[in-house]
Amino acid sequence: MAIRRSTSDGRAASLETISRTRRAQLVAEFESELGIDYRARARAAYEEKRWQVIKTIIVWTIALMFFTIACYKLWLMGLMVDEPFSDLDPMKSLFGE
> 23-74, pLDDT tens digit by residue?
888 877 777 777 777 778 888 889 999 999 999 999 999 999 999 999 999 8
The helix/strand count (H/E) of the chain reads as: 4, 0
Taking the CA atoms of the chain, what radius of gyration do you get in angstroms? Answer: 32
Q: Quick one: pLDDT band at residue 12, thresholds 50, 70, 90?
A: low
Structural element, H or E, at residue 19 = none
CA angle, corner 71, sides to 85 and 62, nearest 5?
155
Q: What is the pLDDT of residue 78?
A: 77
